[in-house]
Structure 1
């Protein structure tokens, strides 16, 4: 494989070591600026790489490589401090993994939905009731007896 930067073949090739180093620098900057990698997306990193190297990085192979780098960076021991970050409200505790479901087209998890439900009920206590996300499953599997105490008030 040629190491040169020109030509269409280089743009379709996997990321080179200099690209990987640049992605890590971009992620370091995001982490320092925001204290989290939640606001960064694969598209943003790809756009920065294209600006820096004046090459196309939006090919499927390169996009997957950038996405994998982003995911592996999030698992590095250096981000352990962020992994320990918690948001607490009443009996709910959200981790960074929970909060990451709020970014992009992801499925929300039960912890996020249940905490949000409590926030809504506290904001409008007389007009809203939010059933815990496990309510329907309990009702379906155990019947009324399994959930009758859930609405005692």
Structure 2
């Protein structure tokens, strides 16, 4: 889509339809979206609901950066006395916790107790730096 509408402008365009649908059916918004895809199938729109869903998702994703970027997380470790090494990177669809989980094996190799690693992953996702007894440090940072 090539116009200069903001997220609020686009939402306003759809609000009337959504409010009518909600008032009639008392459903959640994803049901309206699913029903529109069924309509594309039934009314035989080119490509049907599958194509409509793919195109809608592509347009939505293309417009999202204009509306605000989602942070990207890096999972890093630093052997004692060395520089930080990035071992995993999450795109805008991945949460910090998922990126932190990528360091599970490295944490085991650094002799962190296997039974405590899940707790350490939770801490990493919250911004903590974990340091093993051998000096290896682990962190998850947000890269804006």
Pair in the same fold by TM > 0.5: no
TM-score by length of 2: 0.32
Higher helix share: 1
User: Greater RCO between the two (CA within 8 Å, min separation 6)?
Assistant: 2
TM-score by length of 1: 0.31
